[in-house]
Amino acid sequence: MHRMYENEDIVVFWNSDKCIHAKRCVNGSPKTFCPGQKPWINLNNAETKEIWQAISQCPSGALTCQYRHDIDVNFDNQNCRSVALDNGKEIGECTYQLSESGWNIYHTGVSADYQGKGIAKRLVYKLIDEAERNCVGVMASCSYAWKVLEE
Ligand code: SF4
């Protein structure tokens, strides 16, 4: 399972398949990581610095994080995509096609000025998260999205 969480400062990526339940995250920021609660990650209960440090202790790579850079990433159901916005200006998208076995992500792109900020990963995660929440299969013919799915 893939999930993405955000607060004003950071984006946290969670891949449950990689978790070895070492609970370093829980010990590092118990008000943020609360197994048994839904959602189990709440980024508004502790300082960003504490959350970042807790994530840096994750031994498996199940949890990773990056800065938000004030970029919004939204799901655009009507146009079969996720879209990245800087103050309303569109600066990236990740698109999928419907297929018999689910959503096929076939393109991920971010404007040249915005590369290196992790926006492409957020775009892909947004679609995976959305598909999994809706119990829809997800695959990728886009090589970048495939790498994110596999990592
Ligand atoms: S620190 Fe990483 S591996 Fe350990 S419980 Fe948290 S997410 Fe799982």
Q: Which atom of ligand 1 is nearest to the CA of 26?
A: 6
Could you identify the atom of ligand 1 that is nearest to the CA of residue 22? 4
Class of domain 72-150: alpha beta
60 lines ligand 1 (CB under 6 A): yes
17: phi then psi, degrees, rounded to nearest 5 = -65, -25
Mean pLDDT of 129-143: 96
Which of these, 25, 30, 28, lies nearest to 15 by C-alpha position?
A: 25
Question: What is the CA 43 to chain-centroid distance, rounded?
Answer: 14
Every domain of the chain and the residues it spans: 2-67, 72-150
Mean pLDDT over residues 136-151, rounded? 95
Hey, which of 1, 2, 21, 27 would you mutate to test ligand 1's pocket, going by the most ligand atoms within 8 Å of its Cβ? 21
The structure tokens listed for 75 are 């799901």
**Ligand 1 pocket, 3 CB below 6 A?**
no
Ligand 1, from 2, 5, 18, 24: best to mutate by most atoms within 8 Å of Cβ?
24
97 vs 140: CA distance, rounded Å: 10
Is residue 112's pLDDT more than 90? yes
Entry pTM: 0.94
* Per-residue pLDDT at 151: 83
Q: Which atom of ligand 1 lies closest to the CA of 21?
A: 5
Spatial neighbors of 44 by CB under 8 A, at least 6 apart, are: 7
Cα 151 to averaged position of ligand 1 atoms, centre (Å): 16
Burial label, 126 (beta-carbon count in 10 A; 0-12, 13-18, 19+): buried
Cα–ligand 1 centroid distance for 127 (angstroms): 23
Alpha carbon separation from 96 to 38, 70, 78, 85, 105 (Å, rounded): 28, 25, 11, 18, 4
Give the CATH number of domain 2-67.
Answer: 3.30.70.20
Calculate how far, in angstroms, residue 5's C-alpha sits from the geometric centre of ligand 1.
15
Q: Helix axis angle, 143-150 relative to 119-133, nearest 10°?
A: 70
Tokens of 86: 């800087």
pLDDT single digits (tens) 19-71: 998 899 999 999 999 999 999 999 999 999 999 999 999 999 999 999 999 99
Q: Strands of 2-6's sheet, edge to edge?
A: 2-6, 10-15, 63-67
Note the pLDDT tens digit of each residue in 16-28: 999 998 899 999 9
Note whether 2-67 and 72-150 share their fold: no
First vs last Cα of the chain: how many Å apart?
12
